[in-house]
Structure 1
Amino acid sequence: MADNETATFVLIHGGGSTSWDWHLVAPVLRDLGHEVVAVDLPLEESANGVGEYADAVVEACGDRPNLVVVAHSWGGLVAPIVCSRIGTELLVFVTAMVPAPGEAPNDWWSASGFTDLEAADPEADVFYNGVPAELVEECNARAREQAGTRDGEPSPLKAWPDVPTRFLLCRDDRFFPPAFVRGMVRDRLGIEPDEIDGGHMIALANPRELAERLHAYWTALDR
Structure 2
Amino acid sequence: MATTYVLIPGAGGDAAFWQPLVAELCRRGHDAVPVQLPAADEESALPEYAAVVRAAVDGHDDVVLVAQSLGAFTAPLVADHPAVRLLVLLNPMIPAPGETPGEWGDATGHGPARAAYAAAQGRDPDAPVDLAVDFLHDVPDEVAAPLLAGDRASESESVFTRPNPLRRWPDVPTRVVSGRDDRLFPLEFQRRLARERLGVEPAVLPGGHLLAMSQPRLLADLLESWRP
- Contact residue 114 and residue 184 of structure 2 kept, 8 A: no
Aligned to 1:214: 223
> Which of residues 48, 63, 68 is equivalent to 2:44?
48
Residues 62/195 of structure 1: CA separation in 2 closer, same or farther (3 Å cut): same
Partners of 1:149 and 1:23 in 2: CA distance: 27
Which stretches in structure 2 are left out of the alignment for 5+ residues?
119-123
Identity %: 38
1:131-142 equivalences in 2 (<5 Å):
131-140=139-148, 141=150
Aligned to 1:34: 30
Aligned to 1:90: 86
Q: Report the Cα offset of residue 153 of structure 1.
A: 2.4
Aligned-residue RMSD, C-alpha: 1.7
> Which of residues 199, 202, 214 is equivalent to 1:193?
202
Partners of 2:158 and 2:5 in 1: CA distance: 29
Show CA shifts across 1:100-130 (max 9, x none): 1111110111112213325343388111121
Q: Report the Cα offset of residue 74 of structure 1.
A: 1.0
Q: Which is further off, 55-64 or 90-99?
A: 55-64
Read off the aligned partner of 1:127 and give its amino acid letter. Answer: F
Show CA shifts across 1:49-86 (max 9, x none): 11101110111222200010001111111111111355
Q: How many residues align?
A: 215
Partners of 2:175 and 2:10 in 1: CA distance: 17
Q: Report the Cα offset of residue 203 of structure 1.
A: 1.1
TM-score, length basis structure 2: 0.88
1:29-178 equivalences in 2 (<5 Å):
29-117=25-113, 119=115, 120=118, 121=124, 122=127, 125-140=133-148, 141=150, 143-178=152-187
1:8 aligns with 2:4: yes
What's the secondary structure of 2:53's corresponding residue?
helix
Read off the aligned partner of 1:138 and give its amino acid letter. Answer: P
Q: Which is further off, 75-84 or 189-198?
A: 75-84
- Contact residue 60 and residue 83 of structure 2 kept, 8 A: no
- Contact residue 72 and residue 96 of structure 1 kept, 8 A: yes
What's the secondary structure of 1:211's corresponding residue?
helix
- Contact residue 7 and residue 68 of structure 1 kept, 8 A: yes
